[in-house]
Amino acid sequence: SSSSSSSQGASAITKQELKRYDRTDFSWSDEAQRHLHDTFHLREFRPLQLRAINLTMSSKDLFLVMPTGRGKSLCYQLPALCSPGFTLVVTPLVSLMEDQIMFLCSLEVPAAMLNASSSKEHAKTVMAAMADPKSPFKLIYVTPEKIAKSKLLMSRLEKAYKAQLLSRIAVDEVHCCSQWGHDFRPDYKMLGILKRQFPQVPLLGLTATATSSVLQDCEKILNVSQPLTLTASFNRTNLYYEVRFKASDRDGSLNDMASLIKRKYLGQSGIVYVFSQKDAETVSSELQKQDIVAYPYHSNMDAKDKSRVHRKWTSNKIQVVVATVAFGMGIDKPNVRFVIHHTISKSIENYYQESGRAGRDDLPADCIVYYGFADIFRISTMVVMESVGQQKLLQMVDYCQTVDRCRRSLMAVHFDEVWEEKDCNQMCDTCRHRNDYNSVDISPHARQVVQILELAASQDEKLTPLKLLEAWSGKGPAKHRKMIQITTLGRHDAEAVLVRMLLLGYLREDFSFTPYTTHFYLKLGRKAPLLKSATHRLSMNMRSSGAAVKLRVVGDKERSKEPKPAGQSSEDGPESKKAKRGLS
Ligand code: ADP
Ligand code: MG
Ligand code: ZN
């Protein structure tokens, strides 16, 4: 099953009782079903939508936690149509509000909004409508600062409440209440007034990102006592996750990507995420050279150009948007068949969000990330100021390095969930290549690296990852070459060893700042001294196809290659074998 639910708080509706809210024989059930089809033009409810709607229609206070794009809005929009009066919706951003009003308008659902830029005239009309039983508005959107600052609005809401026209309060992005969340907004702190003044009105809080401590905080701030919490699984079962290796010396990913887009994804819509604005320009022009209709998107473009690219992509006139992460909010295209990361994301959470824009229509879609050694350090210098930025980046690197565990199970821990590997259904590359890896002993190689760094330190020299690689492969200054052991490993394996050492703490990162840039160096980590002992061993798992030829396989762990399941990799381009080599 793709979703689960849990109830928290002392109101403790049991699982059994919760199940009752999946029924379709409530007094509003027929009307709800009719609106689903005729107003929203949707075929059926997604997991937990019906339950959430029945709970809020039953006047329960409810927190709904669901991944972005799963359809939280429907859980208050549809009940609004089945209830008298109107639903008050609190939304943090005017742009989100405008999107919703436009959407509802296209469905002929009467809705209005109040924000800082509303004209006096408009505000007057909307506020008057609140206490008017003949008002057409079923949903009224407001920003939190309106609630915090407008006495007039509060007095109108009082009036509506007394007239029993305020049927429900929806607080979107409810995690903004909590200072522990990632997106705290001070005005959300004031929303406690709503439940205090309107205790009889059911409140529905919605979010895609909330841990239980954040939710507890929201509960206090909003003055709701013992709300129910429904949590949908974050496991996107229709998405196929894959990591491909990207060579550092030349951008081999470009040809690989182009051939994927031209063959496997011919005529299908997708996003390529890149690291920088410059990359957005260069990668899109490279793809254009290969006759792919690709356009860049980044925050340095004119608003006009950005919305043009977005619009043309939405209407399938552009196949691929090559974008920085600025391309994200408000993207609600259902038929995105692939999201390719030309560069790794800065954290697994970010990767989940960005790749999650694929397959919103529940049909199969691919999420591919190209993983290259040099990119780690490009991103490292970017996240250096974030308190746990480095740690999160290394988790992403670890996700990419891993060859022996389901990619889903690696993601799940970041959502406090457990997704069983068996539930992956071979919808990730590691599950498909289940036994295609070897455990190799990298201790002798790691000792060589330590020797180089010790030598550098003794000469008061700092080594960037690239300089370290050069020294190790005998391309450094002549004075070094005599004193160190030059590696027999190919570039890719050498990089893999360095990353493994970094992940395990045998190496660590070191930064230095100049007025213009941040420099990134590799140094010995806290575990490096362990390698002094001749018996200390360090191993790593590597794909057996292709790479690791020079690396000694540990013990009897050599595994037999299983035939690949039918129906995959045959449609990959000719470049993909090369790109998949080794780490991936
Ligand atoms: P969220 O707020 O959870 O990020 P939205 O409410 O904005 O998501 O909905 C995302 C998209 O999912 C919208 O295009 C919406 O029309 C669509 N959607 C919602 N419910 C369903 C459903 N039951 N079946 C198909 N599509 C749905
Ligand atoms: Mg939403
Ligand atoms: Zn898997």
* Cα distances (angstroms) measured from residue 300 to each of 205, 388, 492: 34, 27, 34
Q: Mean pLDDT over all residues of the chain?
A: 88
Q: What is the model's pLDDT at position 179? A: 81
Best probe residue, ligand 1, of 64, 70, 362 (max atoms within 8 Å of C-beta): 70
Pocket of ligand 1 (CB under 6 A): 42, 45-46, 49, 66, 68-74, 332
pTM for the model: 0.84
Residue range 350-408, pLDDT digits in tens: 999 999 999 999 999 999 999 999 999 999 988 888 878 899 999 999 999 999 999 99
Do the beta carbons of residue 63 and residue 56 sit within 8 Å? no
Atom 14 of ligand 1, residue of closest alpha carbon: 332
Question: How large is the ipTM?
Answer: 0.99
Which DSSP string do the residues of 464-518 spell out, in sequence order? -HHHHHHHHTT-S-HHHHTTSPPP-S-HHHHHHHHHHHHHHTSEEEEEEE-SS-E
For residue range 74-122, list pLDDT tens digits in order.
Answer: 999 999 999 999 999 999 989 889 999 999 999 999 999 998 888 999 9
Per-residue pLDDT, 197:
96
Q: Known catalytic residue: 134?
A: no
- Which amino acid residue places its CA nearest to atom 16 of ligand 1? 71
Q: Determine what percent of the chain falls in helix, strand and coil, rounding each to the nearest 5.
A: 40, 15, 45
> What average pLDDT score do residues 511-518 get?
85
Give the residue-averaged pLDDT of 111-136: 93
The dihedrals phi and psi of 326, each to the nearest 5 degrees, come to: -60, -25
pLDDT at 569 over 60: no
The gap from C-alpha 548 to its chain's centroid, in whole angstroms, comes to 32
Between these two residues, 9 and 192, which has the higher pLDDT value? 192
- Which atom of ligand 1 lies closest to the CA of 46? 23
Protein residues within 5 Å, CB atom, of ion ligand 3: 406, 408, 424, 428, 431
Instruction: Catalytic residue, from 60, 72, 306, 580: name it.
Output: 72
Q: How far is the CA of 44 from the centre of ligand 3 (A)?
A: 28
CA 234 to ligand 1 centroid distance, Å: 15
Residue of 73, 206, 236 to mutate, ligand 1, most atoms within 8 A of C-beta: 73
Task: List residues bridging with 114 in a β-sheet.
Answer: 142
Q: What is the mean pLDDT of residues 476-505?
A: 88
The alpha carbon of 331 and the centre of ligand 2 are apart by a number of angstroms equal to 11
Residue 88 in contact with residue 189, Cβ under 8 Å? no
Strand 437-441 and strand 539-543: the pairing is antiparallel
pLDDT at 322 over 70: yes
Question: What is the whole-number distance in angstroms between the Cα of residue 250 and the centre of ligand 3?
Answer: 30
Please name which ligand lies nearest the alpha carbon of 66.
Answer: 1
Q: Which ligand is nearest to the CA of 335?
A: 1
Ligand that lies nearest to the alpha carbon of residue 419, given by its number in the listed order:
3
Count CA atoms closer than 13 A to 426's CA, side-chain side: 9
CA of 406 to the centre of ligand 3 (A): 4
> How do residues 27-64 score in pLDDT, each as one tens digit?
999 999 999 999 999 999 998 999 999 999 999 999 99
- Locate the ligand 1 atom nearest the alpha carbon of residue 43 and give its number: 24
pLDDT score recorded for residue 250 = 65
Ligand 2 centre and the CA of 93: distance in Å?
A: 11
